[in-house]
């Protein structure tokens, strides 16, 4: 009877009922949380150096899925990596941060850096899925070229001669 109940519980529980040492760990979600934290900092940062650093950090990550458990790998070539499923697109975070950084840099008279960031969006991303971001970059470039250049007025030193 116990054996029947044990087998029935195993069948009803499926593979999730079996505990293996090399199952998914809490660290599997940490890269996404780190990206999200960097993105949140990008949304609030106003310093040009911090924004540039955050843009570089968000452009770097390539998230990969986990490997299949060791006990399953021995079954042969039919075993593949499970798909990576995220609720957030790391590339979208990067391009959104880049656009925000370009906007802030343009507003704080770092026009050349802002132009470079907008151009990087236009060169890196293509396709219909990036249409919104590409249009934002084009609009940002248009705003930069329309904004008046900064003028520096210098007065000649007036000597007090009697």
Please report, for the chain, the start and end positions of each structural domain, with discontinuous segments joined by +. 28-146
Instruction: State the sign of the Cα–Cα–Cα–Cα dihedral 94, 99, 102, 108.
Output: negative
Whether the model pTM is above 0.75? no
CA distance 105 to 111: 7
Q: What is the pLDDT of residue 96?
A: 94
Find tokens 């026009």 and name the residue: 111
pLDDT at 19: 47
pLDDT digits (tens, 9 = 90+) for 105-133: 999 889 999 999 999 999 999 888 899 99
Task: Answer yes or no: are the C-beta atoms of 138 and 122 closer than 8 Å.
Answer: yes
From first to last of the 162 residues of the chain, give the pLDDT tens digit: 777 776 666 566 655 544 444 444 444 445 778 888 889 999 999 998 999 999 988 887 666 666 777 777 777 777 776 666 667 788 899 999 999 999 999 998 899 999 999 999 999 998 888 999 999 999 999 999 875 555 555 666 655 555
118 neighbors 140 (Cβ within 8 angstroms)? yes
The pair of structure tokens assigned to 145 is 């070229």
Identify the pLDDT of residue 28: 46
Judge contact between 125 and 134, C-beta under 8 A. yes
Count CB atoms within 10 A of the CB of residue 69.
16
Report how far residue 103's alpha carbon sits from residue 31's, in angstroms, rounded to the nearest whole number: 27
Cβ(80)–Cβ(41) below 8 Å: no
82 to each of 15, 37, 68, 78, 150, how far by Cα in Å? Answer: 15, 25, 7, 12, 54
What is residue 112's predicted lDDT score, i.e. its pLDDT? 92
Which residue matches tokens 């955050």?
54
């Amino acid at each position: 009877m116990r054996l029947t109940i044990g087998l029935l519980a195993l069948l009803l529980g499926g593979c999730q009922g079996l505990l293996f040492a090399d199952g998914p760990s809490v660290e599997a979600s940490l890269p996404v949380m780190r990206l999200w934290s960097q993105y949140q900092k990008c949304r609030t940062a106003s310093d040009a150096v911090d924004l540039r650093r955050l843009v570089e950090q968000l452009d770097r990550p390539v998230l990969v899925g986990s490997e299949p458990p060791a006990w399953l790998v021995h079954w042969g070539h039919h075993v593949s990596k499970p798909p990576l499923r995220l609720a957030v697109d790391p590339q979208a975070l990067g391009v959104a941060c880049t656009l925000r950084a370009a906007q802030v840099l343009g507003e704080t008279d770092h026009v050349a850096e802002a132009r470079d960031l907008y151009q990087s969006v236009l060169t890196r991303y293509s396709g219909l899925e990036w249409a919104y971001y590409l249009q934002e970059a084009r609009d940002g470039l248009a705003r930069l070229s329309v904004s008046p250049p900064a003028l520096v007025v210098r007065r000649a030193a007036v000597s007090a001669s009697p």
